[in-house]
Amino acid sequence: MRERPQLAGTFVALRAAELAARSLRDPQDQRRFVAKVRELLADDIQRGETMTPVRLRERARRQSKDVQLPERSREAPEIAR
């Protein structure tokens, strides 16, 4: 991203697609989903329509690092269904 900062939003969108794909059960569906998003992002870039950079909330990140987790949360997470 340092070489092409104008593509920062595109990189974030691709990473978000990769994370969202994890919710799909079939690995082939996961790959197809990410490939389709990558294809659409590439089309946008080719037309000169790069995504605007995403502004991260640094303050929220810093605050969340200072929060102590309850002892129970450090163990295996409970899955709510």
pLDDT score recorded for residue 81: 47
Query: Which residues form the domain of 12?
Result: 1-50
Task: For residue 58, tell me if it sits in a domain.
Answer: no
pLDDT score recorded for residue 35: 97
Task: For residue 22, tell me if it sits in a domain.
Answer: yes
Task: For residue 60, tell me if it sits in a domain.
Answer: no
- What digits encode the pLDDT tens for the residues 49-78? 877 666 666 655 555 565 565 555 445 555
Q: How many domains does the chain have?
A: 1
DSSP letters, 25-49, are SSHHHHHHHHHHHHHHHHHHHHTT-
Task: For residue 15, tell me if it sits in a domain.
Answer: yes
Task: For residue 33, tell me if it sits in a domain.
Answer: yes
pTM: 0.60
Query: Going along 1-81, which residue ranges are E strands?
Result: none
Task: For residue 62, tell me if it sits in a domain.
Answer: no
